[in-house]
Chain A
Amino acid sequence: MITVNEQNLKKLKRTPLYEAHKKLGARIVDFAGWEMPVLYSGIIEEHRAVRNSVGIFDVSHMGEIEIVGREAVKLLQFLTVNDVTMLNDNECQYSMMCYPDGGIVDDILVYRLTGERFMLCVNASNADKDYQWILKSLHAGRAEGMFRNAEVKNVSDNISQISIQGKNSEPVLQKITGDDLSVIKHNRFVLTNVDGVSALVSRTGYTGEDGFEIYLKNENAERVWNRLLEIGKEYDIKPVGLGARDTLRLEMKYPLYGNDISEKTTPLEAGLSWVTKFDKGNFMGRESLLKQKDGGLKRKLIGFEMIDKGIPRSHYSIFKGAEQIGEVTSGTMSPSLNKAIGVGYVKTEISNIGNEIEINIRGSHQKAKIVSTPFYKSGKIKQ
């Protein structure tokens, strides 16, 4: 009934917090080539800690890529779909890189350190691919006389990232942070010191709750991690694994690369047209995306909840009567709502909220209905 495959773990990468996770009794799994904690005490308990108080996550597997130089802005305007010129220093934005056909290379956060210095936070599974993609575009541009003054560096191996999420993340983190966190708005950041070491702290996250992401040097990660657990005791802080990270993000319908978005889907189909700034000028994928926008979308990523029994899972088929109209890309039992929820692509004509669809669960068609998202509507992101 259970497959425990520990042999495969041998060649995987470990974050600087690996030993700390073992000490905390984490269950370690292979995720995108990394040995990562999937849970400590239990997914539901960890999920609730974040929704009700505070939790910390090791997300050091995420990649960081620096783009530096007088033409850094130009390169990023070309490579990403959002408008980098809207950023001031110490601000970040959610964005995506697309292929010429509009398919998604990765969804990323773009941090503006200065007008000539940017950092991208990218998915662990895509870090190498993204870096190669950026280099390729850079070289292609240079061949045509562009981007001579832009440099790219993959700094993923030097940087650890700890995410602290939940309404009590600010009081916990403030105790060891040099700068006043209360003045940092959502999608803003500060270069500060945390427990005496330098760190980049942004008010960002992947949970729908208020929270921060702390970027710091590998050698400082374990110390800060342990301090946060210690200080957070009065708020019942919990270490949170990738299992609850997934249920938290899914309740918000935040997309997961590889599941809900990929090189085969576009930002428009995924409901991410709000990050796609056609007015900013040319960018990779623009023509294809414009054509898709003007021609009308054939499918859309929708959220649904089960009416009948069963839990939707990735790759289950979606039906309307006898016709297959799409596929589930993520699904789970929502710990906050105690309902089985999922997201998936369906034909646009079926995609209206309130429509009933059926999910093929082990051969039987179970009723579900399309609902408004986020599924979890009580999240408190501080704007």
Chain B
Amino acid sequence: MDFPDDLLYTKEHEWVKVENGKAKIGITDYAQHELGDIVFVELPEVGSGVVAMEPFGVVESVKTVSDLYSPVSGEVVGVNSELEATPEVVNTSPYDKGWMVEVAMSDKNELKELFSADEYTKYVEEESQ
């Protein structure tokens, strides 16, 4: 399972990539694998607000509906609209083409609450035991 070092992670299995003060968010390789074939992603609109560790959207596999939790608070400044037509790229490319939203952060201190790649790896190992 692939958990890149340059990302931060949540207990709910989302990742964050911080670039130019913005947080790009998606779900991890572990999450997409556990969910199976992803067939629908519901995302907020650009301009809406998100709150750390509160749901901002929904990802659905054939059988399951799961909330997406935002790792950080702020304003949505970008949404991956490709996922509307091709939600399966979340399975095939969770960290790249499968990104979900981009958020202008209101409190960068929230990043300190998140897991590093090492910490997340350990967390996943424990959870899947």
Contact with A along B80-120 (1 / 0, CB 8 A): 00001000000000000000000000000000000000000
Query: With A243-B62, A310-B42, A311-B60 given, is the CB distance from A1 to B36 under 8 Å?
Result: no
In chain B, positions 20-37 with a C-beta closer than 8 Å to chain A are 27, 31, 34-37
- Number of A residues with CB within 8 Å of any CB on chain B: 21
Cβ of B58: which chain A residues have Cβ within 8 Å of it? Answer: 362
Considering residues B37, B42, B128, which has the most beta carbons from chain A within 10 angstroms of its beta carbon? B37
Minimum Cβ distance to chain A for residue B80 (Å): 15
In chain B, positions 31-62 with a C-beta closer than 8 Å to chain A are 31, 34-37, 39-40, 42, 58-62
Is the beta-carbon distance between A243 and B63 smaller than 8 angstroms? Answer: yes
A332 CB within 8 Å of chain B = yes
A246 CB within 8 Å of chain B = yes
A310 to B43, CA, bound (A): 12
- Number of B residues with CB within 8 Å of any CB on chain A: 26
Is the beta-carbon distance between B37 and A43 smaller than 8 angstroms? Answer: yes
In chain A, positions 1-56 with a C-beta closer than 8 Å to chain B are 1-2, 4, 27, 38-39, 42-44
Is the beta-carbon distance between A38 and B63 smaller than 8 angstroms? Answer: yes
Cβ of A313: which chain B residues have Cβ within 8 Å of it? Answer: 65
A333 CB within 8 Å of chain B = yes
Minimum Cβ distance to chain A for residue B123 (Å): 12
Is the beta-carbon distance between B63 and A1 smaller than 8 angstroms? Answer: no
Q: Tell me how many residue pairs across A and B have CB atoms closer than 8 Å.
A: 55
Q: Closest residue of chain B to A43, judged by CB?
A: B62
A126 to B31, CA, bound (A): 34
Query: With A311-B39, A313-B65 given, is the CB distance from A1 to B31 under 8 Å?
Result: yes
Cβ of A332: which chain B residues have Cβ within 8 Å of it? Answer: 62-63
Query: With A310-B40, A333-B39 given, is the CB distance from A4 to B62 under 8 Å?
Result: no
B125 CB within 8 Å of chain A = no
Minimum Cβ distance to chain A for residue B98 (Å): 14
Contact of A44 among B37, B66, B67 (CB under 8 A): B37
Q: Closest residue of chain A to B58, judged by CB?
A: A362
Cβ of A246: which chain B residues have Cβ within 8 Å of it? Answer: 63
Q: Closest residue of chain B to A332, judged by CB?
A: B62
Q: Closest residue of chain B to A362, judged by CB?
A: B58
B8 CB within 8 Å of chain A = no
Please give the residue numbers on chain B whose beta carbons come within 8 Å of chain A beta carbons, in ascending order.
12-14, 27, 31, 34-37, 39-40, 42, 58-63, 65-69, 84, 127-128
Instruction: Report the 9 A-B pairs with minimum CB-CB distance, sorted nearest first.
Output: A333-B39, A1-B12, A43-B62, A44-B37, A2-B34, A1-B13, A1-B66, A311-B40, A42-B37
Q: Mind listing 28 A-B residue pairs with CB under 8 Å?
A: A1-B12, A1-B13, A1-B27, A1-B31, A1-B59, A1-B67, A1-B68, A2-B13, A2-B35, A4-B34, A4-B127, A27-B36, A42-B36, A43-B36, A43-B61, A43-B62, A43-B63, A44-B37, A246-B63, A247-B62, A309-B84, A310-B40, A311-B40, A332-B62, A333-B39, A333-B40, A333-B60, A333-B62
